[in-house]
Structure 1
Amino acid sequence: MRLRQIFVIGLALSTLGIGVPAWSQDDPRSCDDLMSEDAPAYVVCHWMATPDEAADIARFWLGNDGQNMRDTGPMDGNVVDCTQPGNECPDFDAEGDGEMHDIGTPGVEDSEEGGTPECQTAEPCYTDPYGVSREEAAQAAETPTGQAAKTAAASGMRVWIDTELADDYRAGNLAEAVKKIAAQAVQPGVVGVRFSSKLGYGEAFETADDLDKFVTEASAALRKSAPGKKLAVHTVVPVFGCGTSEECKTEMSEKYPLLAPDRIGGWLTSGLVDQLALDSGHLTAGYTTWQIDAATAQRNQWIQVRARAWDAYAQIATEDAGFTAPGASKLTAEQATKSITDRVAAPLQDDAAETVTLWSRWQNDQGQISRVYGEKWAANATWDQLKKLTTIRPRLATVYDPATPEVDAATDLKHLSEVFGQVYLHTAP
């Protein structure tokens, strides 16, 4: 999986002329050159197959029109013939008559209700496995978020509902808010719900216990109301950027007591969330006091994530608003390529983040709009460079608010789908 991921990323980056780091000259199987010098001794990088070996493997299985693959043949199944003397098989008391029946036809004789579905009408039958009524789902489908979800799904994008339940939790309205969000989550094409952002970073929670209680209760309510949907949160872990600087670790731990790595890791290992997005905004200049630049802080963060094997419990994402600027991005093509290298390629190549969420448009409290693309989708160098990353499009996501469109949802999502394979549709509970 790691070899395939690096190969795909390298293929995409080669379109922009971005070089993939050279392999170590001392050990062809070592990829320690991808890690910073302050990487802990217990963190090592080792290729299971070098690029040359991987190419040989591919040639072996794909050569001669895949003949070697066909020659392997199917493996013999572990089958017991119950009719052979000496073979004993359990006597299952199975229901039914042992015969196949077409869908919609009456079932076994004397079966309850004759086996015919209750609602055979012109419209499909509606089932209610989520605690959301037909009327509630229909109403949600007509909202701007519901319509945007339909449009985004039709364009091939994976859709997440992005909301904030912390305020409702504090106000004692969590159950009501979850029910509204569940009505959006059951829309076709929606794969999950991100129920909080900047979690533990702002002023919403005063104690760690209250923070944990919110995550636990919100997760449980959403699991019940929208079973089968992925759950996500967005936060930061400032201490991760410190590397080996003990002074930095001490100050960050005191400044952000709710964001202890063990606490956040506990949400993953206990199954409360399925995706964790780590914001990268604080990595830009938050560690200059300790002579840690942005690239080093980012490398430190991903080394710590890998060391804790967080990706074994949940999908890890990185979130970045650095491509946007008031009005539109002013980067040249060369600057945009460098920014893609640092903000997109590095997290993926470090093999810690599986997806990268890039904010493409947002509005501050004063009404000023920052964009990656130009106003009304005017072309610019940054957007043109991002559009070249077609090979890793499924790993790229963005946030979109249907209530404040650039033009309209249909136009906006069409343009966004040219770069992003996933979209978080922001909505209020």
Structure 2
Amino acid sequence: MRIRRALALGAALTVLGVGIPAASAFSEDGEGDCKNVTNGGSQSDPQCFWMAPTPEDALKVVRFWTENDSAKLKEATEYPVGWIDCKVEQCSAEGEGDGQAHGEGDPAPEGYVEDTTPPTCDVAGQPCSVSPEDIAAAARTAAGQAIAAAAASNMRVWIDSELLDDYKAGPAAFAAAVKKVGALAAQPGVVGIRFTSQLGYNGALKTPEEMSGFVGAAAAALHQVAPGKKLGIHTVVPAFGCGASEPCAAEMTKKYPLLTPQVIEPLLTSGSVDQLALDAGLLQSAYGTWKISAQDAQRNQWAKVKALAWDTLVQISAEDAGLAGKDASPLTADQAATVAQERVAAPLRDGAATVNLWTRWQDGTGATYRVMGARLANTPAWEQLDKLEPLQRRLTTMYDPAAPEVGIGQDIKKLSEVFGQVYVTD
């Protein structure tokens, strides 16, 4: 009688889908693991789960169903689930859709209307989408024309913007600036947005909390308005150039409290940033007190990047303006070859993913600094860069379409001879 009752109970529980664990059903990996029970399959393809993970739990299940002469078992009905009949060749026409299977790229079903309602913004006052009209208007701007020219020249394009001033000006100004950047980022060929430069260096932010707050807010807004685009920042970490010199590191930390590794690294681990550009300006002259040459400071910087594994967190790029000179680069051919080795080849060898070279800019007095000569004339420095064709994908530059040298199209075409990527100023 006892055996028959056990068999009957086992059959009933099997119908109800209740698994009763036994000692032999547990693997050596732990009681919660049932990979050794596979309905005839291999151990690497488990097809089981425990509704009662321990023998005590299983006993409680048994008692629940068998008390009061198995009253609950007698009252039990089939659990309502949806079943698929694999023999049916024609899908049901009930519900949404036309009942037919469609592949990617197939025309939409007749009568289908795509929902183009803009998403609801998570942050009040910030635009999280741009309209087709915004995108079309952005394409007609000087920046939009530069983006189109760069894309036509097979250059990767980043938008170069500065959102810090707008962020500090308040929600309305910040929202307008983000929307402007988003419309440019929607242009074909754009892969990323650099939303601030000299972060923590120029005194605009006073505390690490202010800095992380700005970066987090900017990243959140840009992720909404330009989903899928990479985000970058530009700064410098002065202590990196010190290497093993503790007095140097202490002085740099005191002088630049917002630019320490302890402050910068959380920005890289937060998910807000995909690219960090490290400026080489300080490396050239700031370390002489400690008898650290520019070349040693640069090597120290990239050794620190590797030691902290920052290159596993984001893309780390070098940034340099040392090849340019007032009106035109003054470097001779031999000097240009040396500088290219020191400021382009060496950072790439030491771990930089890309090197961003400033080829033309204007200072506060209106003076123009160039690698080329006026009206895109070749110089020994430019010709040296042109010889670095195998490195082209790793060479990037800045371009301000508001101040073209000759014309946007001509300027971009010339830059594309050397550079694989361009940051277009908005």
TM range (shorter): 0.7 to 0.9
Shift of residue 271, structure 1, vs aligned partner: 1.1
1:373 match: secondary structure: coil
State the match for 2:318 in structure 1.
318
Using CA pairs under 8 Å that are at least 6 residues apart, name the structure with larger relative contact order, 1 or 2: 1
Cα 1:127–1:361, aligned 2, differ >3 Å: closer, same or farther? Answer: farther
Cα 1:103–1:334, aligned 2, differ >3 Å: closer, same or farther? Answer: closer
Aligned-partner residue type, residue 141 of structure 1 = A
User: Structure 2: which 5+ runs fail to align?
Assistant: 1-40, 49-81, 86-90, 120-127
Q: Does 1:379 align with 2:385?
A: no
1:411 match: secondary structure: helix
Aligned-partner residue type, residue 389 of structure 1 = L
State the match for 1:281 in structure 2.
281
In structure 2, C-alpha distance between the alignment counterparts of 1:105 and 1:309, rounded to whole Å: 47
1:420 match: secondary structure: coil
State the match for 1:365 in structure 2.
364
Correspondence list, 1:109-128, <5 A: 114=110, 116=112
Q: TM-score, normalised by structure 1?
A: 0.73
Q: Does 1:300 align with 2:300?
A: yes
State the match for 1:56 in structure 2.
none
Shift of residue 105, structure 1, vs aligned partner: 4.5
Correspondence list, 1:152-171, <5 A: 152-171=150-169
Cα 1:333–1:92, aligned 2, differ >3 Å: closer, same or farther? Answer: farther
Cα 1:320–1:91, aligned 2, differ >3 Å: closer, same or farther? Answer: farther
In structure 1, C-alpha distance between the alignment counterparts of 2:214 and 2:113, rounded to whole Å: 41
State the match for 1:261 in structure 2.
261
Q: TM-score, normalised by structure 2?
A: 0.73
1:302 match: secondary structure: helix
In structure 2, C-alpha distance between the alignment counterparts of 1:145 and 1:115, rounded to whole Å: 39
Alpha-carbon displacement from aligned partner over 1:210-261 (angstroms, at most 9, x marks no partner):
1111111111111111110000000000000011111111110000001111
Aligned-partner residue type, residue 398 of structure 1 = T
Confirm or deny: 8 A CA contact 1:393 1:421 kept in the other structure.
Answer: yes
State the match for 2:393 in structure 1.
394
State the match for 2:10 in structure 1.
none
Aligned-partner residue type, residue 369 of structure 2 = S
Cα 1:339–1:137, aligned 2, differ >3 Å: closer, same or farther? Answer: same
2:181 match: secondary structure: helix
Cα 1:128–1:185, aligned 2, differ >3 Å: closer, same or farther? Answer: farther
1:195 match: secondary structure: strand
Aligned-partner residue type, residue 134 of structure 1 = P
Shift of residue 345, structure 1, vs aligned partner: 0.7
State the match for 2:210 in structure 1.
210
Alpha-carbon displacement from aligned partner over 1:365-386 (angstroms, at most 9, x marks no partner):
1100010011111121111110
In structure 1, C-alpha distance between the alignment counterparts of 2:265 and 2:139, rounded to whole Å: 35
Q: Does 1:151 align with 2:154?
A: no
1:283 match: secondary structure: helix
Cα 1:244–1:411, aligned 2, differ >3 Å: closer, same or farther? Answer: same
State the match for 1:42 in structure 2.
none
Shift of residue 300, structure 1, vs aligned partner: 0.5
Correspondence list, 1:17-416, <5 A: 99-100=101-102, 103=105, 105=107, 107=109, 114=110, 116=112, 131-172=129-170, 173-350=173-350, 352-416=351-415
In structure 2, C-alpha distance between the alignment counterparts of 1:296 and 1:406, rounded to whole Å: 35
In structure 2, C-alpha distance between the alignment counterparts of 1:106 and 1:235, rounded to whole Å: 48
Confirm or deny: 8 A CA contact 1:105 1:115 kept in the other structure.
Answer: no
Cα 1:399–1:233, aligned 2, differ >3 Å: closer, same or farther? Answer: same
In structure 1, C-alpha distance between the alignment counterparts of 2:111 and 2:421, rounded to whole Å: 41
In structure 2, C-alpha distance between the alignment counterparts of 1:251 and 1:269, rounded to whole Å: 26
2:148 match: secondary structure: helix
1:265 match: secondary structure: helix
Shift of residue 268, structure 1, vs aligned partner: 1.0
Alpha-carbon displacement from aligned partner over 1:148-204 (angstroms, at most 9, x marks no partner):
100100000000100111111111122221111111111111111100000000011
In structure 1, C-alpha distance between the alignment counterparts of 2:234 and 2:267, rounded to whole Å: 12
Aligned-partner residue type, residue 161 of structure 2 = T
Alpha-carbon displacement from aligned partner over 1:274-299 (angstroms, at most 9, x marks no partner):
00000001100100000000000001
Alpha-carbon displacement from aligned partner over 1:73-131 (angstroms, at most 9, x marks no partner):
xxxxxxxxx9xxxx989977999857456855464xxxxxx464569xxxxxx896861
Aligned residues: 331
Cα 1:88–1:254, aligned 2, differ >3 Å: closer, same or farther? Answer: closer
1:267 match: secondary structure: helix
In structure 2, C-alpha distance between the alignment counterparts of 1:278 and 1:368, rounded to whole Å: 25
Cα 1:91–1:392, aligned 2, differ >3 Å: closer, same or farther? Answer: farther
2:205 match: secondary structure: coil
1:328 match: secondary structure: coil
Shift of residue 334, structure 1, vs aligned partner: 1.0
What percent identity do the matched residue pairs reach?
A: 54
In structure 2, C-alpha distance between the alignment counterparts of 1:102 and 1:349, rounded to whole Å: 43
In structure 1, C-alpha distance between the alignment counterparts of 2:108 and 2:422, rounded to whole Å: 44
Confirm or deny: 8 A CA contact 1:105 1:116 kept in the other structure.
Answer: no
In structure 2, C-alpha distance between the alignment counterparts of 1:101 and 1:263, rounded to whole Å: 49
In structure 1, C-alpha distance between the alignment counterparts of 2:210 and 2:107, rounded to whole Å: 54
Shift of residue 331, structure 1, vs aligned partner: 1.0
Cα 1:105–1:229, aligned 2, differ >3 Å: closer, same or farther? Answer: closer
User: Structure 1: which 5+ runs fail to align?
Assistant: 1-81, 108-113, 120-125
1:159 match: secondary structure: strand
2:216 match: secondary structure: helix
State the match for 1:73 in structure 2.
none
Tell which structure's C-alpha radius of gyration is larger: 2
In structure 1, C-alpha distance between the alignment counterparts of 2:84 and 2:296, rounded to whole Å: 62
Shift of residue 265, structure 1, vs aligned partner: 1.2
Shift of residue 358, structure 1, vs aligned partner: 0.2
